[in-house]
């Protein structure tokens, strides 16, 4: 069985858990406690020298890292349900929406980045929260601007795609850090639809074995 090194509150782990569930792929979770620094242990560094989560260990022992690369692999391993449209232009548009979250929000709000802001630049806890909220609001605005008009359950249609995985996981963080969601009602509707699906329910941080 595949092994997913994951941390319950990691939004990149959340994306991958949801994709594995949507595709009906079996996996075992091994927790990497980011707050305790377990990602920097010798044991985990041997799995992933980049010291990030998630990492996916395939059945033959090969290790894949970087959540967006893992999601690309899962879409090849089990093409249905597809995380991206087949048409290259439609695909690029869904990818672009996913990237407003996976590139423009998440890395800038990463634990290690906010940690450095505090350690090296004198930011308080409140400053760190303001930093995270700022990039979420800016990224969510860019995300909304990329969505097609029309009455869909999810961002680009009635099925969740790669961008929805990124969005729903990021919304967990938005709630956690108290982002004012006024103007982002459309995003909350998508979250509500996702939470009707068992794949997302089981991927939620609170549903994880290492949740505390």
- DSSP string computed for 129-190: HHHHHHHHHHHHHHHHHHSPSS--SSSSSSS--HHHHHHHHHHHHHHHTT---TT-HHHHHH
Coil vs helix vs strand at 59 = coil
CB of 130 to its own copies, least distance (A): 8
Which lies closer to its own copies via its Cβ, residue 77 or residue 211? 77
Contacts with its own copies in 138-167 (CB under 8 A)?
A: 141-142, 145-146
Between CA 35 and CA 42, with CA 36 as vertex, the angle to 5 degrees is: 120
CB 153 within 8 A of CB 193: yes
Q: Does 207 bind its own copies (CB under 8 A)?
A: no
Contact with its own copies (CB under 8 A) among 122, 185, 196, 209: 122
Contacts with its own copies in 3-62 (CB under 8 A)?
A: 49-52, 58, 62
Give dist(CA 121, CA 64) in Å, integer: 34
CB of 58 to its own copies, least distance (A): 7
Give dist(CA 212, CA 209) in Å, integer: 9
Contact with its own copies (CB under 8 A) among 106, 174, 187, 200: 106
CB of 112 to its own copies, least distance (A): 8
Owner of token pair 């996996």:
27
Applying CB under 8 A, which residues contact its own copies? Answer: 49-52, 58, 62, 64-66, 68-70, 72-73, 76-77, 88-89, 91-93, 95-96, 98-100, 102-104, 106-108, 110, 113, 116-117, 120-123, 127, 130-131, 134-135, 141-142, 145-146
């Amino acid at each position: 069985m595949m092994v997913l090194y994951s941390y319950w509150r990691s939004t990149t782990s959340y994306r991958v858990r949801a994709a594995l569930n949507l595709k009906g792929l079996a996996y075992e979770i091994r927790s990497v406690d980011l707050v305790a620094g377990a990602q920097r242990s010798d044991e985990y560094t041997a799995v992933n020298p980049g010291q990030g989560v998630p990492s996916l260990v395939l059945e033959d022992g090969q290790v894949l890292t970087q959540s967006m690369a893992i999601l690309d692999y899962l879409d090849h391993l089990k093409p249905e349900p597809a995380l991206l449209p087949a048409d290259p232009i439609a695909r690029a548009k869904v990818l672009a929406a996913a990237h407003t979250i996976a590139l423009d929000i998440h890395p800038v709000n990463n634990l290690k980045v906010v940690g450095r802001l505090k350690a090296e630049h004198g930011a308080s806890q409140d400053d760190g929260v303001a930093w995270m909220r700022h990039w979420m609001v800016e990224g969510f605005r860019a995300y909304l601007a990329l969505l097609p008009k029309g009455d869909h359950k999810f961002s680009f249609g009635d099925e969740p795609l790669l961008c929805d995985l990124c969005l729903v996981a990021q919304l967990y963080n938005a709630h956690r850090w108290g982002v004012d969601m006024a103007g982002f009602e459309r995003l909350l509707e998508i979250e509500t639809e996702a939470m009707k699906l068992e794949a997302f329910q089981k991927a939620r941080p609170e549903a994880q074995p290492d949740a505390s």
